Amino acid sequence: MHMDNADIAIIGGTGFYGSDLLENFREIEISTPYGKPSDSITIGDFNGLKIAFLPRHGKKHSITPHRINFRANMWALKQLGVKRIITPDAVGSLQENIRPGEFLIPDQFIDLTNSRNNTFYDEGKVAHISMAEPFCPELSRIVFESGKNLGYEMHDKGTVVVIQGPRFSSKAESKLYRSWDAQIINMEVSTECTLAREAEICYAYIGMITDYDTFADKTVNVTDVMEILKQNSNNAHDLIKDAIPKIPQKRGCACGDALKDAMV
Ligand SMILES: [Zn+2]
C-alpha cells in the first residue's frame, strides 16, 4: 500500500477534467511495475472521504485511447487502496432515442479492442475473471439514482461497444453495432473495467452522450459538440457530488471477491 490513500477514484475521460470538487488537494506521482500512469494523481477531500482523480488521457489530453497505460493506471489506484471507481466519459450514441446531452449507465460491454494489455495475469498465475456482469451493480445504481435526482435524462442499463480506435467507425460498422442492440460506443471502457475487476475494485461508468455515431449521417458541428461536452461535464460534476455521500462504506456487491473463483 502506498503512503497516500484514497477511498474512491474518479477517472476523468474526454470531456471531464475537473478535480475542482476536491479540497486540500495535492498531486502525487506513482510508479508501477507497468510504468507510469497517464499523469500525476490528485488526492483531496470531499465529504469526509479521500478522493483520487486521474485524467485518463493525461492532463493535456495527449494520450490516444490505444496508447493509454491502463494497467499502470489501475495498479496505481489499487496501491492507493481505492475500492470504488466512478468514471464519466464522452460516448457516441448508436440509437436515435439516446440523445446528445443525456447520460447512460451501461451494464454490459462488447469488447472489439485488440492488442491491448488487458490483464494483470499474463504470466506466472492464470486467472479467468468473470465478466458476466462487468460493472458494479451497487455503484451503478447509486450513480443512476443521483442523475435522476438531479433531473437529468438518464438511461439505466445498456451495452457499450468498445472499439480499438483511434479512428471512428465506418457507417457499415456503426449499423452493425446497432443491429446488435448496443446503445453507446467508446474506445476505453472494457479494458479499464476488466482491470478494475481483476483488482477487485468496483467500477461504474457514466456515458455522457456527445453525438450520434456515424450511422446517423449527420455532419458533426464542432461548436455544438463542444457546447454539449461542457454541459455534460458540468452535469457529471454535480452528479458525482450527489452520488459520493450516498455510497455505503461497506460494499454490498461481489466485486471485492472477484479473484476468489478466478484463479486456476
Ligand atoms: Zn462493486
- pLDDT value of residue 81: 97
Q: Which of 15-19, 70-74, 97-101, 143-147 has the lowest mean pLDDT?
A: 15-19
In a domain, 1, yes or no: no
Domain count, the chain: 1
Model pTM score: 0.94
24, burial (CB in 10 Å: exposed 0-12, middle 13-18, buried 19+): exposed
In a domain, 55, yes or no: yes
213 part of the active site: yes
In a domain, 27, yes or no: yes
In a domain, 86, yes or no: yes
Cell of 250: 461497506
List, as one string, the DSSP characters of 67-96: G--HHHHHHHHHHTT--EEEEEEEEEESST
7 part of the active site: no
Q: Which of 4-18, 47-61, 197-211, 225-239 has the lowest mean pLDDT?
A: 4-18
In a domain, 71, yes or no: yes
- pLDDT value of residue 17: 62
In a domain, 87, yes or no: yes
In a domain, 144, yes or no: yes
Catalytic residue among 39, 89, 107, 213: 213
CATH of residue 25: 3.40.50.1580
In a domain, 3, yes or no: no
Task: Report CA(227)–ligand 1 centroid distance (Å).
Answer: 33
pLDDT above 70 for 15: no
Q: Identify the residue with better confidence: 261 or 84.
A: 84
- pLDDT value of residue 82: 98
Q: Is residue 18 very low, low, confident or very high in pLDDT (cuts 50, 70, 90)?
A: low
* Full domain range(s) for residue 25: 8-257
